[in-house]
Amino acid sequence: MPTLLTHPAVPLALRAGLGARRLPTPLLLVAVAGSMLPDVDVVGFRVGIAYGDLLGHRGLSHSLAVAACFAVLASLFAGRLGARRAATFAIVFLATASHGLLDACTDGGLGVALLSPFDCVRYFFPWRPIAVSPIGLTAFLSASSVAVLWSEVVWVWLPCVVAALLMRALIPGARSRPSAPPESA
């Protein structure tokens, strides 16, 4: 998996590209949480759930169905998040689904159950340039972590920066800042 430092790259790029008016801070925070949410499944290791099980690592929590459910839940609070329901759904779905999609681009693990619970086959993309991050802080703080972080910079962060710049250039009004609240007299 890419590290928890890298999964938020997608919602952060969306914010940078779309601007604060289209992706207000409360919605950004939910999208960032969604981008990291699928890795809640690592708790399963502590309670005896096997890696390859439906509830194991990169299983159900990494699926597009869970991303859609989380996006529906977030869209129920769209008003409080400062956006319309459709926009809230789309942004939270993209952020949450990006987790499993990025994991499917890594060079290790058992694959990702993207279509779970309907199909429990674990998938990888044919092209897998991202170095898999070891699970756990102790394992991560090793000599290999530099290679992992470098592959994430090259294959996730740089494309996200390019995508954000393209959005800002191509989407009308993406550069504008949110209007200041009116001052009271």
Predicted confidence at residue 146, as pLDDT, reads 81
**pLDDT confidence tier of residue 185, bands split at 50, 70 and 90:** very low
- C-alpha closest to that of 35 among 73, 76, 83, 2: 2
Contact 34, 11 (CB under 8 A): yes
Predicted confidence at residue 58, as pLDDT, reads 95
pLDDT at 177 over 90: no
pLDDT at 183 over 70: no
Predicted confidence at residue 178, as pLDDT, reads 57
pLDDT at 180 over 60: no
Phi-psi region of 38 (alpha: psi -120 to 50; beta: other; left: phi over 0): alpha
DSSP string covering 135-163: SSHHHHSSTHHHHHHHHHIIIIIHHHHHH
pLDDT at 139 over 70: no
- So where are the chain's domains? 9-170
The mean pLDDT value of the chain amounts to 90
Predicted confidence at residue 4, as pLDDT, reads 78
Q: Tens digit of pLDDT for each residue in 70-126?
A: 999 999 999 999 999 999 999 999 999 999 999 999 998 899 999 999 999 999 999
